[in-house]
Structure 1
Amino acid sequence: MWFLVHDLLPLNRPEWFSQNTILRYRAWIAILSRVADGFLCNSRQTDDDLREALTRFHGLSTGYRTQILPMGYVLADGGGTNDTTRPTHARFDMSTPFALMVGTLEPRKGHEDVLHAYDVLWREGHSGRLVLVGRLGWQVDALREEILNHPEYGRKLFWFNDVDDPELVQIYDACTGMIIASHAEGFGLPLIEALGRGKPVLARDLPIFRIHEGNGIRFFPASATPEALAVAVRHWIDEAQAGLIAVSRPESDWGDAARLLLQALEPCAA
């Protein structure tokens, strides 16, 4: 039995999750420590975090295998049922430049930091728009109210919580670039989805994102204030709109992930 692990954040950063989630996650890891033959991890960081957790909490350092799976960036890649070519009616004006954030609204994603940075820009008269795509998560009731009651909501600030793959592709293709402000990630799939669409990325300076350095990413300090982040956003937008950020598409795809998954299981089948 093999299990897919995306991150160890409920163990390592419990303050970002509900008590029920923390308890269930700890129970899940405890069960896996007894029954798993192997673990499929979405990054080297997740692999390292998993091994550390199994040793620290369960005294387990051998008796299992791990395999790192590269994540693909093409939505509906591999012959899925989603048709990313069908026309989608735009719910907002995509002809005017905008920056994009993709991901569930939850504490670790950094939406609040980016919104407050844009507040600084808007007070200075900047015309940039910010589009948020992601379902409502947990522990963000105050952020939800701040977004919905924001004076720029529907003008320079948009939030869509029900976007399907075809519409997401359309939004990726129209955006100036994507901001990923997460305080922690196991991988950060929207980052390579954006690069895969040829879009530059502004990312919080985390080790998990540094592995993509040089592929079209600019970084802002992990502990940046709203004012410092506003400066970084302004410079990044200017560079992106001037075509000064060269973007390299990721090399791996979902086919690579499938092949490595099957290779990991081959010894079990034999």
Structure 2
Amino acid sequence: MTRLLVECTHVFKNPKVNSGIQRVVRNVINQLPESAGGAECIPVVMLKGKLYRVLKLGSLNTPFFESLITFGERLERLAHRFWQLSQRLEKRCTSRFARRVLYVAYRLIALACFSVPLRLIDQVNQTQLPKRCTPLQHQPGDQLVLLDSSWHTDFFPFAEQLKREGVGIVSVIYDLIPVTHPQFYDTRLVQVFNEWFDWITKTADGYMAISATVRDQVREELQRRLGPAKASELWFDYFHLGSELDLSEAAAAVEPRLTRIFNTQEPVFLMVSTIEPRKNHDYLLDAFELAWAAGSKARLCIAGRIGWKCDALLARVHNHPQLNQRLFMFNDLSDTSLEHAYSNASSLVFPSWIEGFGLPLVEAMQRGLPAMGSDIPIFREIGGEFMAYFDLAEPQTLADLVARFESSGQFPATRDVADWHWIGWREASAQLAERTLRNVVDMPLVQVKQHANYP
């Protein structure tokens, strides 16, 4: 009997993190069906070379143990990076003696700096572990679905062992941007992602992307790396993400400074994303400066945690003459406050250079908030005729859309966002399970609908 083992190790270890991939993992796991197509679906984590069934994905709300888990996770990541460094150095060594010296040095440093401290932390955490997960024995024919951001982890050898023992490996791919557009990331992240992707191309039996656009990119990249013949032995599919903000609490307070932005008749344009180069905030500021210079009264609200390579942008915002007048920035909004922003803004604006999906678009449009986005394939896949698009080479095209919407009150898209519909996280989780099984098991499955614009 095939079982789907849906992996969520990084979120299990870091339950308080709430950025894009972590939000996806948490919602898919929480909405995971008990079975799909006759196959049992089980959320799992891989810890210390062992497989566990997840009982509780979220934290136990015990500050000491949460701090200890966080420290242990950081130490594990450092240990993994140290191991990767030793592997790269070993490959460069030409003499057997040098490799032996390197191996001994690695073992001594790893023992003193990582193995012993991690063993002590693990012994303390073992007292809490049974409350959150329980050991699970794998079986030949199981399918391990690597849903979480596994480039952060060190379970590669264990996953390879599972494969040797008859477990299929399915990799969920969110995007290939560190491979295709490395200029948007720090060198270290690009290196880690590429090492992970090299590993996953040698290990996975199939690939589940989060959009048709990414699925096609993954297929093309595998054909390039492995050759058409080898790539044809693999399978490629996709599922779409849901839209609910699961951490939003009706009784929770909304950020007071945020509420004041919406207490006027002036339109508010909302941008939601991590502050990092790929999201193209500079273009956004350029476009709104053009609009303001032409007399626009629109307000621009930027919401998102601070990421990387953004010092110049942050300085531009903090020194902007319109800051806290027509330009506002929030770097730590709760889901409750974000829900308020989605519900009260006039339009979402999303000038990203490239995306794997663009979750804020779905979150906004599902709440009836129309969206303006860069004219890239993934946004066309998600928004179709319900979005308004602008040219990334010309900030004036966005400024014109803002002015047109502001003056007419008519959103400049072909179709009304009120007629646009999208799936929720329950349907997204079912898509992942059903489409995975469709590819790995020869059994009839109810065909899920391929496009989001359905009733």
Please give the TM-score of this superposition, normalised by the length of structure 2: 0.54
C-alpha displacement of 1:74 = 1.7
**Aligned residue pair count:** 262
Is 2:433 the counterpart of 1:262?
yes
In 1, the alpha carbon distance for the partners of 2:402 and 2:375 equals 14
Where does residue 86 of structure 1 map in the other structure?
251
State the secondary structure of the residue aligned to 1:113: helix
AA aligned to 1:255 is: R
Distance 1:25 1:159, change over 3 A: same
State the secondary structure of the residue aligned to 2:315: helix
State the secondary structure of the residue aligned to 1:130: strand
Structure 2 gaps, min length 5: 1-168, 444-455
AA aligned to 1:111 is: H
CA contact 2:405–2:412 (8 Å) conserved in 1: no
In 1, the alpha carbon distance for the partners of 2:243 and 2:316 equals 31
In 1, the alpha carbon distance for the partners of 2:217 and 2:411 equals 38
Is 2:326 the counterpart of 1:160?
no
Where does residue 79 of structure 1 map in the other structure?
none
AA aligned to 1:32 is: I
* Aligned counterpart in structure 1 of residue 378 of structure 2, from 208, 218, 229: 208
C-alpha displacement of 1:6 = 1.0
| Equivalent residues in 2 for 1:52-63, closer than 5 Å | 52-59=220-227, 60-63=230-233
In 1, the alpha carbon distance for the partners of 2:320 and 2:392 equals 25
Where does residue 420 of structure 2 map in the other structure?
249
CA contact 2:223–2:231 (8 Å) conserved in 1: yes
Where does residue 404 of structure 2 map in the other structure?
235
| Equivalent residues in 2 for 1:174-185, closer than 5 Å | 174-185=344-355
In the TM superposition, what whole-angstrom CA distance separates every residue of 1:222-256 from its partner, at most 9, and x where no partner exists? Answer: 321x33331222113344x3467621333322112
In 1, the alpha carbon distance for the partners of 2:298 and 2:248 equals 31
CA contact 2:172–2:208 (8 Å) conserved in 1: yes
C-alpha displacement of 1:83 = 3.8
CA contact 1:205–1:219 (8 Å) conserved in 2: yes
C-alpha displacement of 1:167 = 1.0
Q: Kindly indicate which of the two structures has a greater share of residues assigned to helix.
A: 2
In 2, the alpha carbon distance for the partners of 1:88 and 1:63 equals 53
* Aligned counterpart in structure 2 of residue 150 of structure 1, from 285, 308, 320: 320
State the secondary structure of the residue aligned to 1:223: coil
C-alpha displacement of 1:53 = 1.4
In 1, the alpha carbon distance for the partners of 2:396 and 2:435 equals 47
CA contact 1:30–1:58 (8 Å) conserved in 2: no
Distance 1:154 1:168, change over 3 A: same
C-alpha displacement of 1:156 = 0.9
In 2, the alpha carbon distance for the partners of 1:190 and 1:100 equals 10
In 1, the alpha carbon distance for the partners of 2:410 and 2:201 equals 51
* Aligned counterpart in structure 1 of residue 240 of structure 2, from 70, 75, 78: 70
C-alpha displacement of 1:269 = 11
Q: Which has the higher contact order (CA 8 A, sep 6+)?
A: 1
State the secondary structure of the residue aligned to 2:357: coil
Distance 1:233 1:35, change over 3 A: same
In 2, the alpha carbon distance for the partners of 1:202 and 1:125 equals 20
RMSD: 2.1
In the TM superposition, what whole-angstrom CA distance separates every residue of 1:54-88 from its partner, at most 9, and x where no partner exists? Answer: 22234341343333111111211xxxxx2432242
Distance 1:236 1:67, change over 3 A: same
> Which of 43-52 and 257-266 deviates more?
257-266
CA contact 1:72–1:254 (8 Å) conserved in 2: yes
**Runs ≥4 residues deviating over 6 A:** none
CA contact 1:110–1:182 (8 Å) conserved in 2: yes
CA contact 1:202–1:236 (8 Å) conserved in 2: no
Where does residue 293 of structure 2 map in the other structure?
123
Structure 1 gaps, min length 5: 77-81
